[in-house]
Structure 1
Amino acid sequence: MSDDLTLHAHLVGRQGSRADLNTPVLVLDLEALDRNIAAMANLAREAGIGLRPHAKTHKSVDIAKRQIVAGALGVCCAKIGEAEALADGGVNGILITSPVAAPRAIERLASLAKRAKGLMATIDHSAVAERINVALAAEGATLDVIIDIDPGIARTGVASAEAAVALAQAIAALPNLTLRGVQFYCGSQQHIEAYAERRAAIIERTDYLKSVIAALADTGFSPEIVTGSGTGTHRIDLDLGVFTELQAGSYVFMDKQYLDCDLTGEGDGPFETALGVDARVVSANHSGLVTIDAGFKSLSTDGGIAVVRRGAPETAFFAFMGDEHSALISPDIGKQLAPGDPVTLTVPHCDPTVNLYDHYHVVEGDTLAAIWPVSARGRAR
């Protein structure tokens, strides 16, 4: 057996047990995680708005519950499968942020609406709203819904203020649906590294959002909820004051993509790096290169490359070398490290990296404190 619990359950609570973990392994610093959760919760509380963090980042019942205890209204989920996993784990107040449109998925949504307290879903098409209404009627359930507004990337969402009004009117005619507000997530702006450039982009998009809200209000559909934002733009969105709740997600972990961004305009980092992948050197036969046991199967590839956090020179260049391996390249690194030596990496993009693992190995210092399941791993449908 090679599953995480069989390999590592006996290490929980043993001093220094992180050093005995079989690698590659997804490691979560509990104290940094809790500080990140508290920091975002405090920002939202001080601004007087809600926080509904996006659980597509962590896919974890354990983390979602910590966020709610700290003050979150609930969490967001990207897909119905994620929402099912978290709701069945006891998480309330879930907003599904992607349209649920497939026939079987709509049936599952209606079923989930009966058992998940505070469930909401986004809608961007009247025909889908009608199908959801029929499924809800069959289940004897109702559902609060949010109109998704396209922020300009043509992925999901209504494409104009007029389309938003038309959809609001269609929803109002459906007895099992209650319109609660709008969603506006500017995903392509989140990773603009320069604060001033990112702020200018968000101001322009927020002006458009205001025009949609005004059109809805003028026709009797003033939104109670305006939900969106992300880790990259949360400070800007708090300052602009249009959102009633934030959907930021990656702040709990902080991957390389967000570490490369100036989140505050002051060059400081408001959140800590809590997530990492522990790996080990498996070959060191060249003076300027060592090979580690974490490759494409252990790290996402869509957000650049991983970086060394500890165990090797921080200036070492990371390069994928296939499914199972990567290289760390630095002068004389092959003389500094030997096979079996541990290395911790900061991941390029946390969301898809987490989805590669069954469990978080939660550490306090160098001790394994707990093993938490990635509850919604693979729940993409």
Structure 2
Amino acid sequence: MTDEELHGHLIGRQGSRRELNTPVLIVDLGALTRNIDVMAGFIAKHDVKLRPHAKTHKSPEIARRQIAAGAIGACCAKLGEAEVLAAGGITGLLITSPVVSPPAIERLAALNARTVDLSCVVDNPVNVAALGRVCDVATPLRVLIDIDPGMKRTGVASPEAAVALLAAIRAQPSLVYAGVQFYCGSIQPIADFRERAAAMEERADYLRTVIAALTEAGGAPGIVTGGGTGTHQIDPGLGVFTELQAGSYVFMDSQYLACELTGDDAGSPLETSLMIDARVISANVPGIVTIDAGIKAFATDAASPIVLSGAPAGSTYTFMGDEHGAVSWEGGRTPVLGEIVTLGTPHCDPTVNLYDTYHVVAGDTLRALWPVAARGRSR
């Protein structure tokens, strides 16, 4: 059965969150809205724009809420995500990974013809030539030079390579050079604020050398996009970025909650809005219960999920296989079969990709079902 068939009749019913089939992906609407508003307020105080990364939520509905709060569009990790968001009416899309295969380039050109303000990144002259052959001069494709910040994942590896790529782009009438991308993904989860700020400042110094080389070649970038949730408090002060790509701020998974985001003792201005509700299905072993959420319910590339509620204070979660997890249960009340245990997501992006639907709640009441529309659109 679909989530709509299982749960559609529960929308608006008081206390209906307790009636959901588990495990289930939950979004707290109030917390989500506050996070969107907090980031919008921060951006409004600085000379940057926000193009949030939709690889986090994969949802046109959430993207619309971000744009209504002032975002200029959305970033997409893959072409498939961009196709879904464009079909949902989202414009101002930036594809942040190179699009290189012949069938994907054909799709990219078609998408560029039917949406507004689409951009993609490039890091290789061969890819630039391929894009130039397929794209239409009547609707030229905007491209940004992807600069490797030291991750050795994608991006040109030197100022000289950036300048050479600029020349390759300018040789293609169907392409328009729009700027550069510089995303320091490995810096985002550094827990200590000062260490994270120092790392970004060092990388920004390198970025300045690339921008200087491009400017000397007549290619001063109109857009310098990058940054993220972990560095959003740092990036505007560097004086190089024109827009930020922060995405996880809408949900605040365990990785980012462990980061000192602001550099003071005020605590995070952002809060957990994404969680998994599971149920106790066995309680035969003293000090432990089994719940119906295992490896298939969470991303496993980070620390284990955190127990948010429904179990004694200090309870911890351990994976127990594909379908099951164990929650420590020391002291307090006796566990009851079927009761809800709520857990935080250890890494929101791949966890979201495991589910078809957001179950949007206000308190204990289901308010809406939002499709994870770009789930699995990794090509």
1:43-122 paired onto structure 2 within 5 Å: 43-122=42-121
Does structure 1 conserve the Cα–Cα contact (< 8 Å) formed by 2:280 and 2:341? yes
CA contact (8 A) 1:145 1:180 kept: yes
Alignment check: 8 A CA contact 2:251 2:271 kept:
yes
Tell me, yes or no, if structure 1 residue 21 matches structure 2 residue 20: yes
Deviation at 1:116, TM superposition (A): 1.2
Q: Deviations over 1:34-71 (max 9, x none)?
A: 11111111111110211000000000010000000100
**Matched residue of 2:297: which SS?**
coil
Residue aligned with 2:233, SS: helix
Give the distance between the partners of 1:238 and 1:245, measured in 2 at CA.
9
Shift of 1:270: 1.4
Counterpart secondary structure, 1:316: coil
What's the counterpart of residue 228 of structure 1? 226
- Cα distance in 2 for residues equivalent to 1:44 and 1:146: 22
Answer yes or no: is the 8 Å Cα contact 1:289–1:328 preserved in 2. yes
Partner of 1:346: 344
Letter in 2 for 1:176: S
* Per-residue deviation, 1:262: 0.3
Aligned residues: 378
Q: Mark the runs of 5 or more structure 1 residues left unpaired by the alignment.
A: none
Match of 2:187 in 1: 189
Q: CA deviation at 1:140?
A: 5.0
* Partner AA of 2:224 in structure 1: V
Q: Taking structure 1 as the reference length, what is the TM-score of the superposition?
A: 0.98
| Letter of the 2:345 counterpart | V
Partner-residue secondary structure (3-state), 2:317: strand
Matched residues in 1 for 2:177 and 2:218: separation?
12
C-alpha deviation, 1:7, in angstroms: 0.4
Q: Over residues 237-265 of structure 1, what are the superposed CA-to-partner deviations in whole Å (9 max), with x where a residue is unaligned? A: 12212100000000000000001100111
Q: Secondary structure at the match of 1:230?
A: coil
- Structure 2 runs not aligned, ≥5 long: none
TM-score (norm 2): 0.98
Identical aligned residues as a percent: 59
Which residue of the partner structure matches residue 282 of structure 1? 281
Deviation at 1:169, TM superposition (A): 0.9
Q: Is contact 1:9–1:371 with CA below 8 Å preserved after alignment?
A: yes
Cα distance per residue 1:94-151 (max 9 Å; x no partner) = 00000001111111000000011110000111110111111113x8531111100000
For 1:329 and 1:304, the matched residues in 2 are separated by 16
Kindly provide the amino acid, as one letter, of the partner of residue 292 in structure 1: I
Cα separation, 1, equivalents of 2:56 and 2:376? 12
**Selected match of 1:164 from 162, 165, 169:** 162
Residue of structure 2 equivalent to 1:358: 356
Please name the residue that 2:322 is paired with: 323
Matched, 1:9 2:8: yes
Q: Is the CA contact 2:311–2:329 (under 8 Å) kept in the aligned structure 1?
A: no
Distance 2:315 2:362 in 1: 26
Q: Give deviations 1:207-247, integer Å, cap 9, x for gaps.
A: 00011011111110000000000000111112212100000
Q: Given the superposition, is the C-alpha separation of residues 151 and 314 from structure 1 closer, same or farther in structure 2, using an over 3 Å criterion? A: farther
In angstroms, what is the RMSD of aligned CA positions?
Answer: 1.0
Distance in 2 (CA, whole Å) between partners of 1:160 and 1:289 is 54
The one-letter amino acid paired with 1:160 is S
Corresponding residue for 2:243? Answer: 245
Q: Distance in 1 between matches of 2:295 and 2:312?
A: 22
The residue number in structure 1 matching 2:33 is 34
Which residue type is aligned with residue 310 of structure 1?
S
- In 2, the alpha carbon distance for the partners of 1:314 and 1:76 equals 38
Partner-residue secondary structure (3-state), 1:272? coil
Name the amino acid aligned to 1:336: T
Question: Aligned partners of 1:291 and 1:140: how far apart in 2?
Answer: 60
Aligned equivalent of 1:149: 147
User: Following TM superposition, by how much is the alpha carbon of 1:266 offset from its aligned partner in structure 2, in angstroms?
Assistant: 1.1
